[in-house]
């Protein structure tokens, strides 16, 4: 049965032309869901969107239990972060609502600080992603306004950006708690700012972020692995900082590979730094659990001296990135690593009574008990994160394995059972107790922008729904085109 609320056999070109908006000569066609699993994901999206629209419209995040909202930057994060998900799902009414709000109400003149990294991946990336799918120039104009307001962040002596900036006054500064910026944050801006330059023809955005990549390239690393803090004034990594593929380290490695792909595989040092980092992973971070030998990535503390058998859920992005690299000709050994790590990430879900993963998992490597994994009380929350689903999609799209779709379906059913509430979906505080999950009353924008998008793509009959030879997805799942250089 055809769902009359989705666009079938057409693109949104007609909608945009009716609004008399300037178009580029590109527009993608998405026909909506084609199978029962995809339709279930669309139903979940609509349920979340209904609650957001009713109680948090125009604000950053929905608080679905208290029927309110959480304001972080005052930029309508849920709308901007999820509009390309809406478009890919073929949702006519929701797209019109989101587009009209962005055109009429998304302004960058609030006199408040924002985080450069978060606003870049969610808002700048979101605007660029939907621009490239629709060709609607309004989105690019908004992105250019935002890009100009973010550029003062890069005005340090070294070019390493400050973490926070006021979009109204255009003044930037380090976070209040530290003089340093996070390494992942300053190296996870390049896809978006480069694309802004390519789309607009103005090189200033790309020049600012390329300077960072070149600077980081020349710094000393431990087998290609980087500490998680860097000082914008000195340009040096913080001594004795943690090395991890989790929080504050993760997307540095992701963007090395994706920048290389974005630029048509023409910038060799990006590829080389990525390859060296994966060698460092295999040398220093990979270990196996007892008794079942699950492969995981730990952390190095004290500047690389002490190993900690801890892995953030965020690290589960890596199997997808590794698979993407092997698809583009990098060593086949990376695919083996990806498959084993993906299995371990699955276990972090499957071994919990809720079938939902905790934020952080610890691993048994000393034989101290009979369990391969264990979870501490303070780490038992689940924020509806996308990273594991993301990797499932990459592995399934690039190499084909229906098991990965089944794993994704199991997790989606767990979201439905334990996180769905009357007005949307909520983070939960305890994955270890199915009878008392402790709802946290928060639906982050990435649940709509990433988690449900990756689930929808994972279940697609058309494996080229987003062709990974034509697009590179930023860290917030926004599709940007691959260029020739």
pTM of the shown model? 0.94
Tokens found for residue 90: 């073929």
Q: Are strands 295-297 and 471-473 parallel, antiparallel or unpaired?
A: unpaired
Q: Are 442 and 405 in contact (CB under 8 A)?
A: no
Q: Residues of 98-134 as b/e, b for ≥16 C-beta within 10 angstroms?
A: bbebbeeebebeeeebbbbbbbbbbbbbbbbbbbbbb
**Per-residue pLDDT, 466:** 96
DSSP run (H or E) holding 181: strand 181-182
Cross-strand pairs, 447:
none
Domains defined for the chain, CATH in brackets: 13-481 (1.50.10.10)
Q: Are 118 and 35 in contact (CB under 8 A)?
A: no
pLDDT tens for each residue of the chain, 485 residues long? 334 344 433 333 333 333 333 334 457 889 999 999 999 999 999 999 999 999 999 999 999 999 999 999 999 999 999 999 999 999 999 999 999 999 999 999 999 999 999 999 999 999 999 999 999 999 999 999 999 999 999 999 999 999 999 999 999 999 888 999 999 999 999 999 999 999 999 999 999 999 999 999 999 999 999 999 999 999 999 999 999 999 999 999 999 999 999 999 999 999 999 999 999 999 999 999 999 999 999 999 987 789 999 999 999 999 999 999 999 999 999 999 999 999 999 999 999 999 999 999 999 999 878 899 999 999 999 999 999 999 999 999 999 999 999 999 999 999 999 999 999 999 999 999 999 999 999 999 999 999 999 999 999 999 889 999 999 999 999 999 999 99
3-state secondary structure of 374: strand
Q: Are 63 and 56 in contact (CB under 8 A)?
A: yes
Residues that are catalytic:
118, 250, 359, 387
What is the spatial distance between Cα 142 and Cα 147, in angstroms, rounded to a whole number? 9
Q: Are strands 113-115 and 471-473 parallel, antiparallel or unpaired?
A: unpaired
Give how far Cα 145 sits from Cα of 75, 151, 191, 405, Å: 13, 10, 17, 40
């Amino acid at each position: 049965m055809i769902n009359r609320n989705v666009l079938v056999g057409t693109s949104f070109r007609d909608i945009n032309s009716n609004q008399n908006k300037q178009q580029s000569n590109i527009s993608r066609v998405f026909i909506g869901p084609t199978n029962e699993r995809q339709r279930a994901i669309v139903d979940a999206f609509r349920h979340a969107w209904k609650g957001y629209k009713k109680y948090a419209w125009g604000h950053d995040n929905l608080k679905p239990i208290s029927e309110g909202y959480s304001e972080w930057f005052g930029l309508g994060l849920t709308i901007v972060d999820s509009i390309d998900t809406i478009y890919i799902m073929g949702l006519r009414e929701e797209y019109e609502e989101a587009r009209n709000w962005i055109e009429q109400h998304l302004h960058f003149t609030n006199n408040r600080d924002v985080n450069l990294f978060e606003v870049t991946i969610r808002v700048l990336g979101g605007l660029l992603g939907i621009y490239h799918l629709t060709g609607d120039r309004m989105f690019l104009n908004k992105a250019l306004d935002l890009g100009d307001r973010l550029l003062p962040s890069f005005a340090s002596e070294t070019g390493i950006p400050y973490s926070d900036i006021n979009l109204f006054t255009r003044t930037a500064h380090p976070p209040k708690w530290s003089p340093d910026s996070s390494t992942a944050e300053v190296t996870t801006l390049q896809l978006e700012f480069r694309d802004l330059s390519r789309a607009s023809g103005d090189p200033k955005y790309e020049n600012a972020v390329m300077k960072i990549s070149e600077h980081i390239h020349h710094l000393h690393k431990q087998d290609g692995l980087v500490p998680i803090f860097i000082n914008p004034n000195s340009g040096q990594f913080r001594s004795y900082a943690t090395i991890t593929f989790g929080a504050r380290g993760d997307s540095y490695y992701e963007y090395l590979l994706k920048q290389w792909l974005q630029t048509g595989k023409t910038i060799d040092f990006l590829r080389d730094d990525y390859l060296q980092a994966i060698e460092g992973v295999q040398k220093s971070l990979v270990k196996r659990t007892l008794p079942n030998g699950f492969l995981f990535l730990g952390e190095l503390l004290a500047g690389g001296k002490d190993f900690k058998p801890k892995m953030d859920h965020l690290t589960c992005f890596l199997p997808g990135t590794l698979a993407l690299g092997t698809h583009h000709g990098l060593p086949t050994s990376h695919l083996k690593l990806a498959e084993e790590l993906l299995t371990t990430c699955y276990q972090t879900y499957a071994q919990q009574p809720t079938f939902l993963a905790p934020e952080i998992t610890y691993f048994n490597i000393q034989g101290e008990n009979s369990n391969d994994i264990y979870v501490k009380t303070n780490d038992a929350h689940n924020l509806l994160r996308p990273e594991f689903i993301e990797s499932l999609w990459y592995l399934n799209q690039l190499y084909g394995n229906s098991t990965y779709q089944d794993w994704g379906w199991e997790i989606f059913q767990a979201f439905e059972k334990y996180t769905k509430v009357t007005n949307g979906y909520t983070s939960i505080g305890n994955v270890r107790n199915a009878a008392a999950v402790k709802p946290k009353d928060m639906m982050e924008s990435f649940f709509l922008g990433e988690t449900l998008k990756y689930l929808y793509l994972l279940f697609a009959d058309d494996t080229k729904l987003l062709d990974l030879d034509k697009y590179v997805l930023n860290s917030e799942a926004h599709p940007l085109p691959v260029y020739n250089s």
